[in-house]
Structure formats: structure tokens, C-alpha cells
A and B are shown apart, each in its own frame.
Chain A
Amino acid sequence: MDIQTLTFILIGLSFTLYIGIAIWARAGSTQEFYVAGGGVHPVANGMATAADWMSAASFISMAGLISFMGYDGAVYLMGWTGGYVLLALCLAPYLRKFGKFTVPDFVGDRYYSQTARTVAVICAIFVSFTYVAGQMRGVGVVFSRFLEVDITMGVIIGMAIVFFYAVLGGMKGITYTQVAQYCVLICAYLVPAIFISIMMTGHAIPQLGFGSTMSDGSGVFLLDKLDGLSQELGFTAYTSGTKSTIDVFFITAALMVGTAGLPHVIVRFFTVPKVRDARKSAGWALLFIALLYTTAPAVATFARVNMINTINGEDMQGTFHESAPSWIKNWERTGLIKWEDKNEDGKMFYAADERNEMKIDRDIMVLANPEIANLPNWVIALVAAGGIAAALSTSAGLLLVISTSISHDLLKRNLMPRITDRQELLFARIAAAVGITVAGYLGIHPPGFVAQVVAFAFGLAASSFFPAIIMGIFYKRMNKEGAISGMLSGILFTAAYIVYFKFINPAANSPENWLFGISPEGIGTLGMLLNFGVAFLVNKLTNDAPVEVQEMVEGIRYPKGSGVAQAH
């Protein structure tokens, strides 16, 4: 069977599965819609969290990014996993004990202030929309390459599926489809990785193959070989980076703290029955994430060695374009690989200097990997289904945050407190539907700045939510004046820095102009420190939080007596 038929079959099967689960797990109340009734098993929640967290970017782009960044890719690997330690130790158990539906709920109640709630709602919606646009683009890329349908058609199909199970099932439907999506995406990631690892190093486990000798009989370690190749071609050695230490430090910290402050990740911990389940669930989530995240750097290395060897040839003289393998031509059609024969010898050559004739988009490294390694067609189809699962699961989680923010935080808790549960549920569904439409529009007409605004999402989460929640739990005297001024100064500082370097004056975006040499990607860490500093200062100058609030904080510190998440 050809790739396209197989891809249709696999994607069709996976969609049938998702829809079947959605029908089985319909939500009947706001409680089921927002937190899946609070009865999700911690392992299932761990899988759902992992699927929620690992987006099209993790699945499609991350290994490619690392492949081009070498050591510097560690900022993503550590940054997007280390945040779970913070979540498990400092946030998840307490927020679960607090027992409400959303992050703005916590911020609003803990700081006894509608202003604080509103700031939190705006951040939550902004962060989630930023993310969702990127997911829909991922769906579009996969559809256009593997099914050769129009990107627009691909996005509409994706929207229809998400619409069906998110609007119908709410958190309950999303949770159980995410469990299925995790299984699809992890298989799709591991199977080609294992094949390639065996092929290149003789080890079935990519994490070990990564540190082994090449199976070509030369006895050279894979990484040493890649370091040598990289330097020969004018790149820096793969295992040493080009970013400054301070920048690597700040970016890693911003991503970690940002992860721990992302609303769509935090709400997942409201769905488990008990505080101890919230802790355990964070452990399972990270374990499931680590399976992919420790494989990615291995894939990055295999793919890079493979790619250089294919394009430059074993003798490093370049290979003729007309005899190039079919994957080069397949991806040239999508515009993600470009070849320009500068020296007109008919050969392709890839290098860092003037010898270079190739433009290779980092997004194809994972998607093209099975083709590069000549894997069977069903593996290629599986990767396509995995990419779509990753994009859909994350979009659904984000849409839920958007719809909850609007129906619950904005309408029920702010503008229309007297609506009934049924009306609130209806509003939640309408908001989810509107959210999907906007996300789909952004996917079909992607704004040019999607990549840039991702830094925004993490920066904002790091500089706003994270300090507010940490102080809310661990410093009970923190008052609303401190928290609000801290959040505002953190956000404004971070946003101003990013907007300046990314939009107003992108030409100046280079290390010598950066504050302390910190790039816009890492500035959220400084914003977070500023948030803490301002909050403590203002808190010192104003009255401590009221006694009843301090007692509430006292209450969330002890697991005893946690119930299912409640609206009031």
C-alpha cells in the first residue's frame, strides 16, 4: 500500500477512536465540563497531562531545533521538563486542596480581589490563544505533506474533530481522548527512533544508542563523529553551544517557571480525586513526558548525522541532486527544503560557510526522519498520525482554558453571577466553539509572529502567574496590593522587553544590546524576580492580608479534608 492510503487509514482510525471516546465521556454538568468530575485516576491524568503538554512543537519541531542547536537545545529539554518538579513540589498539591476550577479562581480568591482575577483571566486567555495558533499550524503542515490536501482543508478537518469532543465532552471528553492521543503520539515517536538507533548504532534503546559507537565498524562514538563533521563544515562542535552561559541559564529558568505557571497544565491537577493523587499524577506526567524528551536529543543527533551524510555524501564532496533520494524531492515540493546550485556543479552541499547550497527547515527533521532512514511506509503514516494527535490534544486543552476563563471566570464569577449551572455550561460550550473558530482562522492565516509570541507565552506565565501562586501558598501575609503590583510590573517589564526586541526594533536583537546579555526568550526569569521583589516591597508598605484569608491559606497547606473541586 502506498504511504497516502496508509496515512488515511491510520489517521481515520485514530479519529474514530477519539470520537468514540467523546461520545462515551459526555459532560453533563459544569463540574464534569471543567474538571472531569474530579474522578480521574492519577496515571490517566499523568498521560493526559503529557499529551496536553506535548504539542505539535514538541513532536514536530523540538528534535529538529536541537539538531540545529546542539548543546544549546538543552534549554528546551531541561526547561520543559524541570518545571514539573516545581509543579509537583510547590503548586499542584496545594491548588488541588484549594479545590476550585481555574487559575484565575485561585488568584481572585486568594487575593480577595476582582482586579487580580481580571488580570489573571486576561493572561490566561492570551497565553492560550498564542499557543493554539501554533497547534493549528502543525495540523496544517502534517495534512498538507502526508495527505496532500489543502492546508485550509486540513485545518478545517482538525477543527471539526476538536470541536466535536471538546464542546461535547469538556474536560471529561478531553481527558480520555488525551490518554488515547498520548499512546498514539508516543508510539509514533518511539518506533522510528528505535529503528534508526538500531540502524546507526546497533542499540534498540535510542537513549543508549545516542552514546554508543557507530555501527559502520569505525568504532567512533556517534557524538564524536558529529562533532568532527560539524567542525569540518564550519559549525561549532555539536556538544558545545553558541549561546552565552547566562543566556542559557535564564532561558532554561524562564521555560521551567513558565511551564509551572501555564494554566492549561495547572488545571489538569484539579481533575484528580485527592491531594496525594495530584502529587503522584505530576510524577507520572513527567515520566510520560521524559520518554519523549530523552528520545528527542537522540533523534536530533541521528537525524543530523544522517542528513549530512545523505547530502554531502560519504566522501564529503556533495551528492548529485538528480540522484538525490526521494525524500529530498518530496520535501522540496512543500518548500521546506531548498537547494540552490551556487557553484553549478549539480551537487548538493550543506555547510555553515559559503560552500552551503541548502536551506533546510528544522520542522522536517522528525517528519522526514523515517523517509531518510528508509523505514517502511506504515512508520511514515504512524508519524503523521502522531503529529496530529500531539496538535489536537494540546489544542483541546488550551480551548478548554479559554472557554472556562470566559464562562466561569469572566461571566459567572464577574459579570453574571446569577446564571444557573446549565446556563454556565451552555456559555462554556459557546465559548469553546468560538475559540475553535478563532484558532482555526489563525491556523489557516498564521500571523507571521507565531514563533515570536511563544516566548511571550512562557515569559508572561513566568512573570505573572508563577510568583502570584507561589506567594499565595507559601507567604500567607502577602496581600492583594503586593500581588497585583507584582504581577503588573512583572508582565509589563517582560512584555515591553519582548515587544521592543521582537517587534519595534528587531534589528537590535543581538547579545550586545540585551540587558545583562539576556535574550527576550529568557527575560521572563528577570520579570519573575521583579514580580517577587515589587510584591514584597509593596506588601511591607501596606497591611497584611486579612485574617480570614490567612486562615484559608493555612487550610490549603494540609491535605486533610480535600473534597472534589467545587464552584464555590
Chain B
Amino acid sequence: MTDKDSSSNEAYWRENIGLVLKLLLVWFLVSFGCGILFVDQLNQIQFFGFKLGFWFAQQGAIYVFVALIFFYVAKMNKIDQKHNVHED
């Protein structure tokens, strides 16, 4: 492994960790935040036939989870390419 490779590898890893932390923050906010910790406050808001907090806990969080993974996949494929660590 040359020096150039290893510095690029480090940058790759940093970028990866940054992305993962950001996505995990969203993950935490929709489930533990909206669905559990702030559920009572959000339940004051009506969202169609749902109380909003209840909707997050039983529906919304799951939709966001799915979106998060597909977003991560797309983003990581780009980061892999950028740092030239992708598979052939």
C-alpha cells in the first residue's frame, strides 16, 4: 500500500463515518425522538386520522428506516468510486 493510497483510505473512512453518524442521528430522531421521547407533545398534532406521535411510532419511523438505507447505499457507492476503493 503506497502513502497516497493510505491517505486516500483515511479520507474515505472519515467520510464514511461522517455519513453513518448523520444517518444514525436521523434514525434516532424519528424512532426514539418522535416515536418515544416526544410522543406526547407530537400527539397534540393531528395528521390525517392519526395523532402524529402515534403515527411516527407505528408507521413513520419504519418508512424513514427504509429510505435511510437506500440513501446510504447510493451515497456509499459514490464515495467508494471517489476514493477508488470500489470493487471491480
Contacts and interface: CB of A to CB of B under 8 A. Distances in A.
Interface of A: 66, 71, 73-74, 77-78, 81-82, 84-85, 88-90, 93, 207, 210-213, 221-224, 239-240, 245, 248-249, 252-253, 256, 274-276, 279-280, 282-283, 286-287, 290, 293-294, 297, 474, 554, 557-562
Interface in B28-53: 31-32, 35-37, 39-40, 43, 47-51
Contacts of B17: 474
A286 B49 CA distance: 26
Given A89-B23, A240-B43, A297-B59, A561 B69 contact: no
A84 B69 contact: yes
Contacts of A93: 76
What's the dominant secondary structure at chain B's contact region?
A: helix
Contacts of B61: 77-78, 81-82
A74 B61 CA distance: 10
Contacts of A282: 69
Given A210-B59, A211-B55, A283-B70, 16 more contacts: A74-B36, A74-B57, A78-B57, A81-B62, A85-B23, A89-B23, A249-B32, A249-B36, A275-B87, A283-B66, A286-B65, A287-B66, A290-B62, A294-B59, A474-B17, A560-B84
A221 B48 CA distance: 9
7 contacts: A71-B39, A82-B61, A89-B20, A90-B20, A279-B72, A294-B59, A558-B9
Contacts of A224: 49
Given A88-B72, A276-B87, A558 B62 contact: no
Contacts of B13: 557-558
A559 B80 contact: yes
A132 B16 CA distance: 37
Contacts of B43: 239-240
A84 B37 contact: no
B66 A290 contact: yes
A78 B40 CA distance: 17
Contact of B77 (A245, A276, A558, A561): A276
B69 A283 contact: yes
B87 A562 contact: yes
Contact of A89 (B12, B24, B47, B80): B24
Contacts of B54: 71, 74, 223, 239
Contacts of B23: 85, 89
A223 B55 CA distance: 11
What's the dominant secondary structure at chain A's contact region?
A: helix
A345 to B, nearest CB: 35
A245 B37 contact: yes
Contacts of B16: 557
Contact of A221 (B49, B63, B86): B49
B87 A77 contact: no
Contacts of B84: 560
Pick the most buried of A77, A93, A293: most chain B CB atoms within 10 A of its CB. Answer: A77
B73 A82 contact: no
B78 to A, nearest CB: 11
Contacts of A554: 9
Given A84-B69, A283-B70, A78 B59 contact: no
A252 B31 contact: yes
A74 B35 contact: yes
Contacts of B40: 240
Nearest to A293: B62
Nearest to B13: A557
Contacts of A253: 32
Given A84-B69, A279-B72, A213 B85 contact: no
A252 B36 contact: yes
B85 A558 contact: yes
A561 B72 contact: no
B49 A212 contact: yes
A275 B87 CA distance: 8
B2 to A, nearest CB: 14
B59 A276 contact: no
Contacts of A213: 49
A225 B50 CA distance: 12
